[in-house]
Amino acid sequence: MLGAIAVLLFFHGVIFSRLAFKKPQVEPDRALPVSVVICARNEARSLEELLPVLMDQDHRDYEVVVVNDRSEDDTAEILQWMKPKYERLRIVAIQADEKFSYGKKIALGVGIRAAKHPQVLLTDADCRPPGREWISCMAAGFRNGRKIVIGHSPYEVKPGLTSLLERYDGANKAMQYVGFALAGFPYMGVGRNLGYTSELFYSVRKPGAAQHRHHHLMSGDDDLFINEVARARNTTAVVDPRSFMITRATTDLYTWFVRKRRHYTTARYYRFGHQVLLFLLPFARTVFWLALIALCVAGALREAAIGAGVEICVFQPITLLAFTRLHAGPVKWLALPLEWLFLLLDPIIYVSTILSKPRRWK
């Protein structure tokens, strides 16, 4: 119990508190030239909704580069129809080739090479900015020579169990990677809301670098690259609500399960120190709750009460504040029972990726 509490005090006091007590507002940078890159495959309807919103951003100098990655729907026709309406829109197409199979990373590289501005923001076609200041608020993260800007992408609120699980899981993961970045230990970002310089992207395009070593993976275009290049001196995280990028809710449990499996395939390629920390957190949580149960069964109620008091008076308030910063909504009030659920669910999903590996990014 004492060992678990010591570890969890480190995570909550040193890492998560940086997010919980951070002043969220930033001063938007409306002048920095920015290229927004979207990799889309069979996203015709989503692009019809997203592009008009992006074209209405309150930012002076930006472009939107859409990479049509072997789409089989009418994405190409929709983009060509929209091109005359929006002078900021640039279209890049990748043709299907039966001889090669690849994930999103190739499309992302094509989009960044096509971008004309050195600062690049990434998002997906199924995302929506909350207002007209998304680009400017994310661009503010590039100040003071920062080359990586980590943003948050909460899931939209929908009724049902799938949405509940997805929103908690997204907020919990964001509390970790945003908190780590604010504490000077950046290890990942999500491609739905992420920024970095093309110079940094090209700097690792050498044999042996992450972009080459991980090309065979169907995921990891965002977190593996950031894990390779992010350091305290070149990375920042923006938690202003205007910088969030809202992600469309997953429609059913099976689809959510498949997405989580795909994301789990990349964690084993993180730097060793990050793997240790990310294993230590759920391990300490599991040990804490097992020890609490064991103390109650053994009749050591005073020791059990002390452990429960630390959880209720220290850990949960920091978690609630961090979830509030991330606009987790009502799901934050269910954080404790959902924590118990995911302590059981996450190992099951991880083992499933070992037994049967995901094969496609979309």
pLDDT for position 96: 72
Q: For residues 11-33, b (16+ Cβ closer than 10 Å) or e, as one string?
A: bbeebbbbbbebeeebebbbebe
Least confident of 108-122, 212-226, 244-258, 320-334: 212-226
What are residue 247's DSSP bridge partners? 127, 155
Q: Which residue has the tokens 């920042």?
A: 236
Q: Kindly report whether the global pTM for this prediction surpasses the value 0.85.
A: yes
Note whether 27 and 96 are within 8 A (CB): no
Q: 157-174 pLDDT, tens per residue? A: 999 999 999 999 999 999
3-state SS assignment for residue 120: strand
Give the chain's mean pLDDT: 90
Give the integer Cα–Cα distance in Å for 284 and 141. 33
Nearest to 78 by CA among 109, 48, 100: 48
Whether the CB-CB separation of 20 and 318 falls below 8 Å is answered with yes
Whether 210 has a pLDDT exceeding 50, the answer reads: no
